Amino acid sequence: MLLILLLLIPVATAAASYFARRRTVMEAVNLAGFGAIFFASVVLGARVLADGTVSLANGFFYADALSALVILLTASVALICASYSIGYLRDDQQSGELGDDASGKEQLAQLRMYYTLTPLFVFSMLFMAVANNLGVMWAAMEATTLASIFLVTFYGKITSLEAAWKYAMIGGVGLSMALFGTLVAYYAGHNLTGSAALSGLNWSVLAQHSAELDKTSMRLAFVLILMGYGTKAGLAPMHTWKPDAYSEAPVPSAALLSTSTLNCAFYGLIRFYILTSGCLGAEYPSHLLLLFGLLSMGVAVPFVLVQKNFRRLLAYSTIDHAGIMAIALGIGGALGSLGLMLHMTFHTIAKALLFLCAGNVYQHFKTDQFSKIKGSVIKAMPLTGVVFFVAMLAIIGMPPFSLFQSEFLILRAAFDGGHTLTGVLFVVFSAGVFAGVLLLVGGMILGPGGDEPVAARRPWRNGSLLALASTLVIIGFWVPAPLFELISRAARVVSGQ
């Protein structure tokens, strides 16, 4: 019942927003809806901790610790973004970004589109995490792309269209490859359960019998899935849509894209990894994952160093972290999986925070180029400046923040498992990104002051910022026990214990 509720609430929210007449109603509905989703996801987490797994409808819906973690992360980011977007979109409306007709109808239509598409977007991500059937998982992933295309074109600029087109095309091709991979995986398993049975594509069933799957097919399937879901995750060389999409979409949507969609893409990847390593042993998928992971990290470094636009910088940082997570998955084992899950959690919080800060900066200075932000952020917007700086330190892995701990864990797993070259390259690339981001963003935040006035009040936005920032800082020192238990259980699902 809980799972159905989890899926129904966002749909209801979308419907309610669609038919609402006033902006305040839409905002309230969204906030309430996402709050309810967050609550439901916490309850789900508790249920999973208590019962092990939750399943419904003869195994059609299935949630274990991994699903519960992904859902919890998605729901939290969605809630924060919902409260942030209230302030963000009000500012946009005032400054005329949404269209400037006198009656306000055009603006209302834009707002309606945002407040309807975002719950649908979240719905598809939640669906992906609770679907047991691999094919339905794919359909949900495709739905996330479709829902977010119009979020990317939100501002209707020429560059937005270009970004949306790249996103649509590259995402479309990638997802077709993923569909092919799903098909081949189905073929690998159809000897077990019969062709017409729905359970033939059920992950839980396939995972149990993974040793009996057809080996050559699974090889091909994994490559296709890696390239397919890897496109959505932003692993190089399929990453080229990311910088464009993240810099053109409205900031809360970009935050959702870079955290929750990334997590869902990895969720799909992890499910297939479990199947493949059960069938072929962990070496084959591990090699591929390490390759793509290192490639992503390597590609991110030069683009970070010469970046001129801070939203694109955040996109490359996401590509870098996607690479780190791929490496963690590739290393595997108890340590690697734990590192992966911790990193996923911490990255979600930090990256979302970064995007929200970037949104504040963008709306105040009206530009996202480093060179044009002549004054320092910290003088003009003290709260944002401090939070931005803290979040930046966190994302590049500076101790004592949480990401340092998860990256260190991954490194340890690498050296323990004999992946020395990987570990060395990991350090080198991380250093590169560290330097680039610190210099660029630090310079922007702490640079020599201009005479920018101190900014106006923004309760919604700054409130969300503070909430998330405090979470980030606290988590660096203390992870609440149930959360940590959920994370370790998720890690155990990945490593197969």
Partner 1 sequence: MLMMPVLDLQFGERIVTLMAALVLVLQIAMVSQRWIVLHIRIFAVQSLLLAMIAATIAWYNHAPHIYIAAVLTLVVKVILVPILFERLVTRMEIHEEIEPIVNVPLSVLIAGGLTLVGYVVAESFYRPDAPGVGHNALAVAISLFLIGFFTMINRRKALTQVLALLSLENGLFLAAISLTYGMPLIVELGILFDVLVAAMVLGILVYRIRESFESMDVSRLRRLRG
Summarize as ranges the residues that interact with partner 1 (CB under 8 A). Answer: 133, 135-136, 138-139, 142-143, 146, 149-150, 153, 156, 158-159, 161-166, 168-169, 172-173, 176, 179-180, 183-184, 186-187, 190, 195-198, 200-201, 216-217, 243-244, 247-248, 303, 306-309, 312
Cβ atoms of residues 129 and 265 within 8 Å: no
Phi, psi (rounded to 5 degrees) for 234: 95, 30
The continuous run of DSSP H or E covering 29 comes out as helix 23-51
For residue 480, the Cα-to-chain-centroid distance in whole angstroms is 22
**248 vs 320, which CB is nearer to partner 1?**
248
Phi, psi (rounded to 5 degrees) for 148: -90, -10
H helices of 234-332, where?
Answer: 241-248, 251-256, 262-280, 283-305, 310-331
* CA–CA dist 102, 452 (Å, integer): 30
Minimum Å gap between C-beta 460 and partner 1 is: 30
Query: In Å, how far are 84, 95, 171 from 252, measured between CA atoms?
Result: 7, 17, 20
**169 vs 439, which CB is nearer to partner 1?**
169
Minimum Å gap between C-beta 169 and partner 1 is: 6
Minimum Å gap between C-beta 178 and partner 1 is: 10
Cβ atoms of residues 264 and 74 within 8 Å: yes
Minimum Å gap between C-beta 367 and partner 1 is: 16
Residue written as token pair 């920032």: 469
- Type of residue found at 202: N
- Token duo for residue 112: 């309606």
Task: Report the candidate in 259, 263, 335, 328 with the shortest Cα–Cα distance to residue 296.
Answer: 328
**183 vs 383, which CB is nearer to partner 1?**
183
Minimum Å gap between C-beta 130 and partner 1 is: 14
**13 vs 182, which CB is nearer to partner 1?**
182
Minimum Å gap between C-beta 441 and partner 1 is: 17
Minimum Å gap between C-beta 282 and partner 1 is: 23
Minimum Å gap between C-beta 416 and partner 1 is: 37
**161 vs 334, which CB is nearer to partner 1?**
161
**187 vs 434, which CB is nearer to partner 1?**
187
**31 vs 173, which CB is nearer to partner 1?**
173
Minimum Å gap between C-beta 258 and partner 1 is: 17
**217 vs 286, which CB is nearer to partner 1?**
217
**81 vs 164, which CB is nearer to partner 1?**
164
Number of other CB atoms surrounding residue 168 within 10 Å:
18
- Type of residue found at 412: R
Task: Find all residues with CB under 8 Å of 47, minimum gap 6, and list them.
Answer: 2, 54, 68
**What single string gives the DSSP state of each residue in 395-427?**
HTT-TTSHHHHHHHHHHHHHHHTT-HHHHHHHH
Residue written as token pair 């987490």: 45
